[in-house]
C-alpha cells in the first residue's frame, strides 16, 4: 500500500524529531571531556545531587514540586518527595533547592527550598525520609519563610557548608534594578547569602544563627545574614577541600559573575553589576567598599544568565583537581576556570539549569528540557550508554530563567 503524502510527511517529521532528540542526548565533546547522557524524560529539572549516605543514589529536583531518585543501575527513577500541592511553579518560581543533612545516613533529615503556592513566599522546610518509598507533604516542618515582593529573583540554592551550617541563596526580591535596594540593606534577608544552624533551635524558631555571622547579636542587621549585595545567587557550591563558597550571581543587562563569598562580604549589587558601576546609586560607587567577582562575562554570543557550578574534586580525574566548572543558561556553554579568564570546556544545546555532584564528586549537568548528563573524560567515555528514562519524551520548556 502506498503511503499518502500526509503520512510520509508525518513519518519524516517523526524521524527528524527523533534524530534531534537523540542528538541532544548524545555525548557532546570539546577537548578532553564529554557529556554522557544519564537520565531523560524529566519535567523541567532544576537540580541534581546525592545524599552522601553510601547508597550512590542520584536525586533530581523538578520545578513543579517533585524530587525523583535514581538508584545505581536503575533505568526508571521513582518519586522521592511530592509537594506539588504546596508549590507555585512557573517562570522562576517552583521547587528550587534540595540539601541533605551531613548526617542524613543516620538522621534521615533533608531540606528543600520552594515558592509557596498561596503567596509566592520563599519557604525553607525540613522533611524526614522514611521506609515508605515516597515522603509525604504532611511531614513538613517549616524552618524559614521570606516574603517575596515580585515573582522573579528567588535564588533557590541551599547547601550545607563544611562547617555544618545550612547556607541559603536569596535573590533581591525581583523586578529590575532592585527597586527597594534590598540587596544592600542589612535589615532585609533578600539579596543575601544566609547561614543558619538547624541543629540548635533557639528563640522559638527551628533554627539559630551562628555567632560568627557578621550581624549577629548587638551588631545592627539580621542575625541570619552571611553576606550581602547579591542580585540572584541561583546556584552556589562549596569547594569541599578548601571550604570556599563559589556563587554564580545572575546579572542584569550586561554582566554575569562568579564570586567567592566570605562572611561579611558585600558583593556590590545594586551599586555594581560585576565590576561596572550601575549608576543607580552613583554616590556609593567606591570600589574599596565592595568585593568584586573572580570572573565575569558579557551577554555576547547568546549568553544571558550564569549557572554556578562546582570546583572539581572527583575521583575519576575527569578534570584537574581544583578546576571550577560553570555555565550559561541561554547559550549552553560550559566553562572551566583555574584562575584568570574562563576557558570554553563544552558547547551544548542545553538550557543549563544546574550542575551537581554524585558521591564520588563527579560532576553532572542538568538541562531544563528534561535531561541529566555526566561530565566524563573523553577517552574513558563509553559509546554504549544506557540512559534511564523518567517516562515519555523529554519535556521542552523555555519558561524558566534565572535572570
* DSSP for residue 2: P
> What is the torsional sign of CA 122, 126, 131, 132?
negative
Per DSSP, the three-state class of 15 is helix
Q: What is the spatial distance between Cα 77 and Cα 397, in angstroms, rounded to a whole number?
A: 20
Q: What is the spatial distance between Cα 297 and Cα 254, in angstroms, rounded to a whole number?
A: 8
Which among 61, 80, 262, 233 is positioned nearest to 156, based on CA atoms? Answer: 233
Where do the DSSP E strands lie in 202-249? Answer: 225-228, 235-238, 245-249
- The CATH superfamily of 27-389 is TolB, C-terminal domain (2.120.10.30)
247-282 pLDDT tens trace: 999 999 999 999 999 999 999 999 999 999 999 999
Per-residue cell: 323 = 578546576
Position 400 scores a pLDDT of 62
Where do the DSSP E strands lie in 63-161? Answer: 66-70, 78-82, 95-100, 109-115, 122-128, 141-146, 158-160
Q: What is the spatial distance between Cα 317 and Cα 382, in angstroms, rounded to a whole number?
A: 16
Residue 398 sits at the vertex; the CA angle it makes with 393 and 400, to the nearest 5 degrees, is: 115
| Contact (CB, 8 A) for 247 and 229 | no
Position 131 scores a pLDDT of 79
pLDDT tens digit at each of 403 positions of the chain? 333 333 333 333 333 333 333 333 444 444 578 999 999 999 999 999 999 999 999 999 999 999 999 999 999 999 999 999 999 999 999 999 999 999 999 999 999 999 999 999 999 999 999 877 888 888 899 999 999 999 999 999 999 999 999 999 999 999 999 999 999 999 999 999 999 999 999 999 999 999 999 999 999 999 999 999 999 999 999 999 999 999 999 999 999 999 999 999 999 999 999 999 999 999 999 999 999 999 999 999 999 999 999 999 999 999 999 999 999 999 999 999 987 788 999 999 999 999 999 999 999 999 999 999 999 988 655 444 567 878 643 333 344 667 7
Residue 271 CB-half CA count within 13 A: 20
How do the domains of the chain map onto residue ranges? 27-389
What is the value of pTM for the model shown? 0.90
Taking the CB of residue 324, how many other CB atoms lie within 10 A of it? Answer: 24
Q: What is the spatial distance between Cα 112 and Cα 83, in angstroms, rounded to a whole number?
A: 10
CA–CA distances in Å: residue 136 to residues 39, 117, 127, 139, 165:
24, 17, 9, 6, 25
Amino acid at each position: 500500500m502506498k503511503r499518502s503524502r500526509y503520512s510520509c510527511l508525518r513519518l519524516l517529521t517523526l524521524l527528524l524529531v527523533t534524530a534531534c532528540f537523540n542528538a541532544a542526548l548524545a555525548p557532546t565533546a570539546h577537548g578532553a571531556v564529554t557529556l554522557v547522557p544519564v537520565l531523560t524524560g524529566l519535567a523541567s529539572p532544576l537540580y541534581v545531587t546525592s545524599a552522601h549516605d553510601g547508597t550512590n543514589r542520584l536525586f533530581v529536583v523538578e520545578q513543579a514540586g517533585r524530587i525523583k531518585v535514581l538508584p545505581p543501575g536503575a533505568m526508571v527513577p521513582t518519586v522521592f518527595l511530592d509537594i506539588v500541592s504546596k508549590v507555585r511553579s512557573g517562570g522562576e518560581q517552583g521547587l528550587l533547592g534540595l540539601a541533605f543533612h551531613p548526617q542524613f545516613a543516620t538522621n534521615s533529615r533533608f531540606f528543600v527550598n520552594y515558592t509557596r503556592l498561596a503567596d509566592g513566599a520563599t519557604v525553607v522546610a525540613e522533611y524526614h525520609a522514611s521506609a515508605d518509598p515516597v515522603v509525604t507533604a504532611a511531614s513538613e516542618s517549616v524552618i524559614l519563610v521570606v516574603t517575596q515582593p515580585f515573582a522573579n529573583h528567588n535564588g533557590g540554592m541551599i547547601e550545607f557548608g563544611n562547617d555544618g551550617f545550612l547556607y541559603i541563596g536569596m535573590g533581591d526580591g525581583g523586578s529590575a534594578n532592585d527597586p527597594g535596594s534590598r540587596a544592600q540593606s542589612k535589615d532585609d534577608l533578600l539579596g543575601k547569602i544566609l547561614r543558619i544552624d538547624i541543629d540548635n533551635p533557639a528563640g522559638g524558631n527551628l533554627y539559630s544563627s551562628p555567632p560568627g555571622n557578621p550581624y549577629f547579636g548587638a551588631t545592627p542587621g539580621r542575625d541570619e545574614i552571611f553576606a550581602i549585595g547579591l542580585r540572584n545567587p541561583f546556584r552556589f557550591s562549596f569547594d569541599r577541600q578548601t571550604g570556599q563558597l563559589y556563587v554564580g550571581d545572575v546579572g542584569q543587562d550586561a554582566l554575569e559573575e562568579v564570586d567567592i563569598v566570605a562572611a561579611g562580604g558585600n558583593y556590590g549589587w545594586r551599586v555594581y553589576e560585576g565590576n561596572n558601576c550601575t549608576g543607580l546609586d552613583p554616590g556609593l560607587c567606591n570600589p574599596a567598599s565592595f568585593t568584586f567577582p573572580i570572573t565575569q562575562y558579557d551577554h555576547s554570543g547568546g549568553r544571558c544568565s550564569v549557572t554556578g557550578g562546582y570546583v572539581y574534586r572527583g575521583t575519576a580525574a575527569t578534570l584537574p583537581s581544583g578546576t571550577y566548572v560553570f555555565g550559561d543558561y541561554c547559550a549552553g556553554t560550559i566553562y572551566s576556570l583555574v584562575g584568570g579568564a574562563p576557558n570554553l570546556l563544552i558547547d551544548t544545546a542545553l538550557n543549563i539549569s544546574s550542575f551537581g555532584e554524585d558521591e564520588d564528586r563527579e560532576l553532572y549537568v542538568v538541562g531544563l528540557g528534561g535531561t541529566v548528563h555526566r561530565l566524563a573524560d573523553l577517552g574513558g567515555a563509553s559509546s554504549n550508554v544506557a540512559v534511564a528514562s523518567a517516562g515519555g519524551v523529554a519535556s521542552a520548556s523555555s519558561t524558566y530563567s534565572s535572570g
